[in-house]
Amino acid sequence: RPDAPRSAASLTKLMGALVFLDRRPAWNAVVAITKADEVGGGRLRVAYGSTLTTLDLLYSSITASANNAATAMARVSGLGMKGFMRAMNTKTASMGLKGTTFVDASGMDPDNITTAHDMALIALKAYIADPIRRSATTVQYGFRIRNTGQSKVIKNTNDLLVAKEYDDLYVTGGKTGFLYESMYNLAVRLRPTSDRTAERQLMVVVLGAPTRTSSFKSANSLAQWAWAAYKW
């Protein structure tokens, strides 16, 4: 059901990252995490007032799916929170995506609505844009809190990057999402590990899987089926 409306959960962060990229940020600019960035759910575990670069914010949002990092990106974008949401929806409309509406930058609000078809196009746009692509394929990322010197290491939430059972998959972009209202979402771009030409690259979107594990298994099964069923 490619056009069935579903809650986007943290897949929302992909459009937020695209809008932030449109602002042409200075990736070495230093910004602070504040109490206002807290929206619940998964977060970058740092004290309020901790400073980091905008690149660290992007990786925290996409690699680790930290909600406070995604909200901070919107806050420091120069658009204001309402302006950032308008920009996300304007970009969605400009892509011709009629089944998608965003109401917050982190994906915590279940009223962020998308479809598998729309999210495939959003994710594809994100995964060909650096540094979003790099943040969506990095297994773990280390950085330093600038005002304290504290070292932080964040890990990717996408098991397709690390689980041995998926060694035959080469991930070229991936983002997970979860809310109780949405269950487990996944948008992943991948090709067979043995195919170095990328001619058999696929975009797979799974919305509403009942478990985290099943979201990865479903993506793998869909990819394997497509590679077997179609001539490339």
Going by C-alpha positions, the residue among 56, 13, 4 that lies closest to residue 31 is 56
Looking at the domain assignment, is residue 193 inside a domain? yes
Confidence band of 230 (pLDDT split at 50, 70, 90): confident
How many structural domains are present in the chain? 1
In tens, the pLDDT along 94-141 reads 999 999 999 999 999 999 999 999 999 999 999 999 999 999 999 999
Looking at the domain assignment, is residue 131 inside a domain? yes
Residue 27: domain span: 6-229
Looking at the domain assignment, is residue 58 inside a domain? yes
Looking at the domain assignment, is residue 136 inside a domain? yes
Specify the CATH number for the domain of residue 60: 3.40.710.10
In tens, the pLDDT along 196-219 reads 777 889 999 999 999 999 999 999
Q: What is the reported pTM? A: 0.96
Looking at the domain assignment, is residue 166 inside a domain? yes
CA distance to 20, 184, 231, per residue, from 187 (Å): 19, 11, 23
Looking at the domain assignment, is residue 50 inside a domain? yes
Confidence band of 187 (pLDDT split at 50, 70, 90): very high
Looking at the domain assignment, is residue 1 inside a domain? no
